[in-house]
Amino acid sequence: MAVTAKVLEQAILALGRDTALLARFRADPAGVGAGLGLDAEWAGVIADGRRDRLRSAGVVDGITILVSRWFADDLGDSTSASRFHVEHAAPPPDPDVPANLVFAGGCSHVPDLLARPEIDPADGVARLTGAYRRLGERIAAADPDVLLVTADCHFQSFRTGAFVVGTAASHTGSMEFFKRPDLDLALTGAPAFARAIVDAVRAEGMEVEEADRVDLDHGLIVPLRQVLPRPGLPVVPIITQPARTFSPFGARAFGEVLRTVLETRGERVAMLATGGLSHWLDPGKFGGVDVEFDTYILEMLQAGRGNDLGNLEPYPLLDHGQYEFLNWLIMLGLVGPGVPAEVLAYEPMEASGGGWTVVDLPLPERPARAGREEHAHA
């Protein structure tokens, strides 16, 4: 049996509940660990208190700290580091993608890319723009009936700190705040689908705000002006962080609820996440790019481990300028673990203020729609 994050968590909790078992484990990690489903390598990781390995395997930090501060009596957690690396020894589960999810991916929504691209290096802008074009071609080839798209709140005022679902029949807006009112967008909504999302989230006991008005800003205009496959494609906007609330775990859980919605509907669904990677709006910090942590995020996605990022304590993501990654975790929760990503572009651009990326998650091949020509004119 593969040593998964769940196996690791259960083994650590079992040791924490039984001091006699823990004493035997510390004397013979491999032998006692075998009875807990651990191989010799992972038994040694736990015995040595190597929290960075456990975290990279998807174990939450509230559990990893047991192996150092309690199991090894390291009261100050002094032997641990905050290193991040991609764990390959604990394989992700096999993919289990909803049958009618036909596309999933993510891209940044940097306003300067459309409003004033000349401020960034021309070659980087060209690579990024080309990646958007390729992503748009893949969405078009997937032939969806509806597009779900996430973006964080920028200028609007909503009533709560919950995730927001736009339920209107249409959505409009422009980039007037960036001196470009000519960069506008009008979208067709999907009220019935949006209502199904709201109902499903509430049925799970989770908070969600429904909004009959979502004013489009650069968070949706920048990506959708480049990748929307056809003007009338119905779109459900999902807005995160209206009060700068931040829960990676909650974002992933929201995405997992979307799976239940797809199971009850017949539409071919595409899901697009927008935002970052590293990106700071703090006074005095704008323009910083954390290439090292961005690379870690992208490597986790490429390894099919993006969902594990929802197990991080909020601080690491916030500290590395990754607050927009909530938008991606909703998409990853919908897709489920085990789907390796293809990074189409990554460009660290200080002038426009972040590490910008375009990513596709190639899904299992779906059957082509019958009667596509009739659908196009329906």
Q: What CATH number corresponds to the domain at position 184?
A: 3.40.830.10
Question: What pLDDT score does 373 carry?
Answer: 44
pLDDT tens figures, 56-86: 888 888 899 999 988 988 888 888 877 788 8
Percent of the chain residues past pLDDT 70, beyond the cut: 97
Q: Under 8 Å CB-to-CB from 61, ≥6 apart: which residues?
A: 51, 55, 311, 312, 313
pLDDT in tens, 162-189: 999 999 999 999 999 999 999 999 999 9
92 domain residue, yes or no: no
Whether 91 maps to a domain, the answer reads no
Can you give the pLDDT at residue 159? 87
Report the domain count for the chain.
Answer: 2
Residue 344 and residue 251 share a domain: yes
Residue 87 inside a domain? The answer is no
Identify the domain containing residue 14 by its residue range: 5-71
Instruction: Assess whether 192 and 329 both reside in one domain.
Output: yes
Same domain assignment for residues 57 and 148: no
- Does residue 143 share a domain with residue 31? no
Give the per-residue pLDDT at 1.
Answer: 56
Q: Both 57 and 109 in a single domain? A: no
Q: Is residue 133 part of a domain?
A: yes
**Are 208 and 337 members of one domain?**
yes
- 368 in a structural domain: no
Lowest mean pLDDT across 14-23, 27-36, 166-175, 307-316: 307-316
pLDDT at 52: 87
Q: Are residues 31 and 115 in the same domain?
A: no
Q: Domain for residue 166, yes or no?
A: yes
Looking at the structure, tell me whether residues 178 and 253 fall in a common domain: yes
Greater model confidence, 1 or 199: 199
For residue 366, is it within any domain? no
Q: How confident is the model at residue 371 (pLDDT cuts 50, 70, 90)?
A: low
Q: Is residue 260's pLDDT more than 60?
A: yes
Q: In terms of domains, do 266 and 210 share one?
A: yes
- State the pLDDT confidence band at 374, using cuts at 50, 70 and 90: very low
Domain boundary among 33, 51, 71: 71
* Model pLDDT for residues 193-218, shown as the tens digit of each residue: 999 999 999 999 999 999 999 999 99
Considering the domain architecture, whether residues 138 and 67 belong to the same structural domain is answered as no
> What is the pTM for the complete model shown?
0.89
- Residue 143 inside a domain? The answer is yes
Are residues 210 and 142 both part of a single domain?
Answer: yes
Reported as a single tens digit per residue, the pLDDT across 74-119 is: 888 888 877 788 888 777 788 999 999 999 999 999 999 999 999 9
* Whether residue 116 is found in the same domain as residue 246: yes
Residue 139 predicted with pLDDT over 90: yes
Q: What is the 3-state secondary structure (H, E, C) of the chain?
A: CCCCHHHHHHHHHHHHHCHHHHHHHHHCHHHHHHCCCCCHHHHHHHHHCCHHHHHHCCCCHHHHHHHHHHCCCCCCCCCCCCCCCCCCCCCCCCCCCCCCEEEEEEECCCCHHHHCHHHCCHHHHHHHHHHHHHHHHHHHHHCCCEEEEEEECCCCCCCCCCEEEECCCEEEEEEHHHCEEEEEEEEEECHHHHHHHHHHHHHCCCCEEEECCCCECHHHHHHHHHHCCCCCCCEEEEEECCCCCCCHHHHHHHHHHHHHHHHCCCCCEEEEEECCCCCCCCCCCCCCCCHHHHHHHHHHHHCCCHHHHHHCCHHHHHHCCCCCHHHHHHHHHHHCCCCCCEEEEEEEECCCCEEEEEEECCCCCCCCCCCHHHHHCC
Q: What confidence tens digit (pLDDT) does each residue in 268-290 have?
A: 999 999 998 999 988 888 889 99
**Amino acid occupying residue 156:** Q
pLDDT confidence of residue 4: 85
Q: Which amino acid is at 366?
A: R
